[in-house]
Chain A
Amino acid sequence: MVSPNKNPTLALIDELLAEQSRLQTPVARFAATHFDTHHSTLSSQLIPLSKPKPGEQYAFEVDLDSCTGCKACVSACHALNGLDENESWRDVGLVSGGTRSAPYQQTITTACHHCADPGCLNGCPVLAYEKDPVTGIVRHLDDQCIGCQYCVLKCPYDVPKYNERLGIVRKCDMCQQRLGVGEAPACVQACPTQAISIVTVTTYVDGQLKPDTSHFLPGAPDASITRPVTRYLTERPAPANALAADNSMLRPQPAHWPLAIMLTLLPLAVGAQLGALSVSNNLKYADNATGDLTLFGVVAGALGLAASVVHLGKPLRAWRIFLGWRKSWLSREAMIFGGWFGLAALAVIRREALPLAAATGIIGLFCSVMIYVDTHRRLWRFAQTAPRFLGSALILGAALVFAFRFETKVSVIVLGALTAVKLMCDLRLLRPLEWVEEETPVTQENYAARLLTGPLRTLFGLRIAAALFTAIILPFLVTAGKLPPVASWFVFGSVLLGELVERHLFFRAVDAPKMPGTSQ
């Protein structure tokens, strides 16, 4: 109310501020307006009328000729699913190319491909993915997920996304709650040009898994790995020189420090055990040496396993990690290293357990290797990963033996030789660059090389130089008596750091396949 003696401007300020904060409630609005309850028929034209028959599943179908880049599908997915601030389960990519007289660009809407043989599902250590037996929708169980993010590495299409707030990944479920009641998924509802629809596709022929992936997007990552069922239709095929718009963007991948630490400490632990075995027959210092090295291995192993737990978004759920052992190398690794740790501890007290512990450790490291090999990423292929992980075990074992000054000469030779082999491994990564002329597109083959000579070149250069110096030159100087014996611990520390940097680059420089042109 306007008070009689108040300055009129002040009174008006109060009045307008009060008015500004008043909102009409829904009840009042309801009385004032009407709404139409009849349902849009739009949905029913774009989704199948019946459930898939045995051997069939639902799939997204995209009419590329109608996808003109408005990206409403991305916003709608976010809004209609109530996702977090920057979260959407759909992306729109861009491909361009062609010639002066016939330039070409194409936007590509993309979400989960609900693969016939899903990489995420196969890799999950806790079975947090299920493929619906009727609809074929690949569904993520949010309360089962431990946040290990292995599915992120396993999916060739960059679909599951880690949610920091929740500590789990989330992904598209084809709006199965909507489909279940005959409503179209959010993206399908929201496309102004009806470019997205849900169709039924055949995945099993005569009981064999034989999905037709011939309509999958040309230029997308290899469909033979996970058998994506999305169909992309167009009457104007992409020209041969079409490239993803983000082709030239070199994106160093997440560092995953806890994993890099774990994958340095566990080889160190196994290396310590191998070192212990190697000196155990030398009567001169067998007892002490074996004991020290074995104890060192347990401590390193404990720290490594602790680091792996830190990596998890939801560590308290990790007790289920054995569930995925049939298919998941991560599940297998966890189980084997779990058993290994018991044996390693036992070996501290009972020397006889040491060979079994070391053998288990090597099997564990093999599982670690296979975790990465199974992602089908170029840098993480067996020929690169196995020498790195097993090489680290031997190098760190040798450096440790050297530091304890047990078998100095032998360990220096082993350390130097294996480091040389591992450096060859690193340098081999650069080979794709030898044939690269200017303006050659970035490919899966040359991706790591481009990263290591581009955004990551400083660290990579340091790694190579430091390895040469600390693992080859310095130990030689110590052995030749040019430096005091205590420097051998410096050598060990530097080699350990060098391996950690190598493992860091292993994560950072990896090629990460995804749908073309979705990065901004």
Chain B
Amino acid sequence: MSALDDLLHARTGPMTSELVLHPGQFGLGRVPARLAPAGTAKSICGFCSTGCSLNIHLNAAGEAINLTPNREYPVNLGMACPKGWEALTPLAASDRVTTPLLRDANGVLQPVDWARALTVFCERMKGVQSKYGKAAVAALSTGQIVTEEMALLGALTKFGMGIADLDSNTRQCMATSHVAYKQSFGFDAPPFTYADFEESDVLVFVGANPCIAHPIMWQRVMRNQRNPAIIVIDPRRTETAMAATLHLPAYPKSDLTLLYGIARELLARDALDHAFIEQNTTGFTAFREFVQDFAPERVLSETGLSRADYMRTIDLIARPGARVSYWWTMGVNQSHQATRTAQALINLALMTGQFGRPGTGANSITGQCNAMGSRLFGNASSLLGGYDFANAAHRTHVAGILGVEESLIPTQPSRAYDRILDSVDTGEIRALWIIATNTAHSWINQGKFSQLRDKLDFLVVQDMYATTETAQQADLVLPAAGWGEKDGFFINSERRLGAARKVARAPGVALSDFAIFKLVAEAWGCGAMFEQWSSPAAAFQILKKLSSGQPCDFSGIRDHDHIELSGGIQWPFSEADATKSGTPVIERRLFADGKFFTPDQRARFHFDAPVPLPEPPDEAYPLLLNTGRGSSAQWHTGSRTNKSAVLLKLSPNQPWIELNPTDASKCRVEAGQRVTVRSRRGETTAIVVVTPIVQPGQVFMPMHFAEVNVLTFPAYDPHSRQPAYKACAVQVVP
């Protein structure tokens, strides 16, 4: 009977075996038997700034075959977002660039070897420099590569090649936080640790949607056992707004007015920490005067909020003894008055003394995996290690550590991304080297970039893919190894250094960015200057020295392994700290003593009157376009996330536009319809999504599609030069 049953019911066989699970060992649970690891390596994810640790499953040859989030890491506690789970997939994409590519006489990119590529690179770049001056070459870098690479690039371009202007795509996401912190605290120092999500009584999120943009940070919010009030300030009813205690759908860019108004009410109620203000800040008296202009009537009329919601917000924030933390992301940073908005949040925390204790702080949630590394070691706005180009003593100090001629160090910072592109327009800059970023897709008012391309004598793009919108326009493409194919460290949002590991071979003759920079240095003729940068591990030792004595001092960290074994290490961790305590405490926050990094150790109140929207809606363009993250599965311009079939399943694969039902009927368009979206800069098409989560008069488009930045208006924050992606006027027509 059993034999007959077996014949009739094939309960086993090759297809059943495909899905058999085996114990994974190495602390893993069950894993697919055919992907059973021979070992694991721990690596920090290379997408966003959360800095999750991934356990990479390796075969016997040391090649990555699968991954699971690391359960022991203090950041992610065994979790990852879909991008993290799929982190290995983009490495195997069929469109990886495997050799250098040079555009031939017919305009076609043709494979060449490294020797030829380097010769062309140097000849053309030097040709431009000898004809138009050294400053006619500029570079645009990224927040996506490891810190050792950023620093080497910064040193190579500025000290070796004599380039004046080097900026990076962190200008598009974090420049505002950098400037805001620097002005207010005296150093770019996010004060928090992720435990603060769990320790707060009131969490105020402004222009942040962690549910899908930083899901692992939201995990920490959900672990909060204090029954916290969650206030979300965002024009849209986002996933995070849905999960909040209170959602304030303030009119786009009216957040500055709202925050000044809140400050005024806190003053009126005397819900202040007078001792903190007295001992640790300067500029409060002027601020007190300034906010008197922001009476509730004005705030309510400019923000469109209800009085009840406004007053409830103040009740929650002013509750005596409550630990209040303020969190912001791109909704604040990408604005025409971004820096002052970030500082308005800092001011609220300062006047209420919400610093240095668990669950407090004015906290910038960072964007890219290594935006924080770039802010300290990009060598763009500040000299390597957070120093000042303009300060002679700083130049001497850095020159001493690096063993470079002091005269080679520029005496002023690089100009910002937008100024670099403007200089291409005026013909001042003639050659551009773009590294691991996709300018032709992501830059605001993107149509302009294509016109600029024709004004460049030479465009080099260094990337994992030759298929990005930018690489497609290059004269020379340098094939780069990606995350997972190289070693180095990232710094996450909470100042935690984490090591990324090489667990896969790069395809063809692609090389790590570090190796490419070394080669360029050698071919350029300045190889000797970077002799001590022999490997990422050696570079780490240089960066430690640069950090020493700075607020970001991490000279107490031995090496990459030390970082990994400690579960990541937050700066500061100086040599003295290491000698004193040995192992670093896992979760640490800044300013427990109320001492800031300004010369007088006092934080500053910075404020300015709100400025009207650069391009408000009008009769011709009646809708205000907001852009932002579309889903947790999409990363920036999609050059990596679009390579994963699973991630592609998790979000629409064509651009969409969210309209309120009122506007849908006004524009005579229906859900699912393809419509034209037009601004004064250009037009594109998108599929209509009708939803009340956007307010009437406002529309939303995800930033991951190349079409969106055809529309955006090129306005910039005056302090951070960060583009204001989130507010421009458009019309929608069937």
Contacts and interface: CB of A to CB of B under 8 A. Distances in A.
Interface of A: 8-10, 12-13, 16-17, 19-21, 23-30, 32-40, 42-43, 65-66, 68-72, 74-76, 78-82, 85-88, 92, 96-100, 103-107, 127, 141-145, 166, 168, 170, 175, 177-178, 181, 183, 189-194, 245, 247-250, 317, 320, 323, 438-439, 520
B78 A17 contact: no
30 contacts: A16-B518, A20-B515, A26-B41, A29-B62, A33-B565, A39-B29, A68-B212, A68-B215, A75-B633, A75-B646, A79-B86, A81-B19, A81-B21, A81-B32, A82-B19, A82-B31, A85-B645, A85-B646, A86-B645, A100-B692, A104-B692, A105-B691, A143-B15, A168-B15, A177-B30, A178-B29, A192-B81, A193-B219, A247-B671, A248-B672
A13 B39 CA distance: 31
Given A143-B15, A177-B21, A249-B672, 8 more contacts: A23-B62, A26-B59, A33-B565, A35-B40, A65-B243, A79-B85, A86-B649, A317-B10
Q: Which of B35, B60, B633, B692 neighbours the largest number of chain A CB atoms within 10 Å of its CB?
A: B692
A123 to B, nearest CB: 17
B646 A20 contact: no
Contact of B646 (A86, A96, A317): A86
Contacts of A189: 29, 78
Given A181-B30, A250-B672, A69 B505 contact: no
B51 to A, nearest CB: 15
B409 to A, nearest CB: 25
A15 B114 CA distance: 12
Contacts of A190: 69, 79-80, 85
A70 B692 contact: no
A26 B693 contact: no
A114 B582 CA distance: 53
Contact of A141 (B9, B69, B633): B9
A29 B63 CA distance: 12
A68 B85 contact: no
B165 to A, nearest CB: 26
Contacts of A104: 237, 242, 692-693
Interface stretch (B144-152, B320-328, B378-386, B506-514): B506-514
A141 B11 contact: yes
A193 B15 contact: no
B672 A42 contact: no
B519 A13 contact: yes
Interface in B527-580: 527, 561, 564-565
Contact of A78 (B9, B85, B692): B85
B62 A68 contact: no
Nearest to A317: B10
B375 interface: no
Contacts of B20: 177
Contacts of B63: 23
A287 to B, nearest CB: 46
B111 interface: no
A96 B649 contact: no
Contacts of A10: 115
Contacts of B18: 82, 142
Nearest to A143: B13
A75 B115 CA distance: 41
Interface in B224-260: 237, 239-240, 242-243
B52 to A, nearest CB: 10
Nearest to B525: A9
A8 B211 contact: no
A23 B26 contact: no
B8 interface: yes
Nearest to B673: A248
Interface residues of B, number: 106
Nearest to A37: B27
A32 B62 CA distance: 14
B80 A72 contact: yes
Contact of B692 (A21, A96, A193): A96
A87 B649 CA distance: 9
A33 B564 contact: yes
Contact of A26 (B39, B216, B505, B691): B39
A75 B647 contact: yes
A92 B647 CA distance: 12
Nearest to A142: B15
A105 B10 CA distance: 44
Contacts of A145: 15
Interface in B27-47: 27, 29-32, 34-35, 37-42
B37 A178 contact: no
Contact of B39 (A27, A39, A70): A27
Contact of B522 (A12, A40, A170, A245): A12
Contact of B218 (A9, A68, A71, A183): A68
Contacts of B462: none
Contacts of B10: 141, 143-144, 317
B19 A143 contact: no
B690 to A, nearest CB: 8
B273 to A, nearest CB: 33
Contact of A17 (B15, B30, B502, B509): B509
A198 to B, nearest CB: 15
Among A35, A72, A105, A127, chain B packs the most CB atoms within 10 A around the CB of: A72
A26 B85 contact: no
Contacts of B13: 142-143
Given A69-B211, A92-B650, A82 B34 contact: yes
Given A142-B15, A142-B18, A103 B692 contact: yes
B9 A70 contact: no
A27, A42, A65, A520 pick with most chain B CB within 10 angstroms? A520
Contacts of B27: 35-39
A309 B41 CA distance: 48
A302 to B, nearest CB: 27
Contacts of A105: 237, 239, 242, 691, 693
A439 B665 CA distance: 9
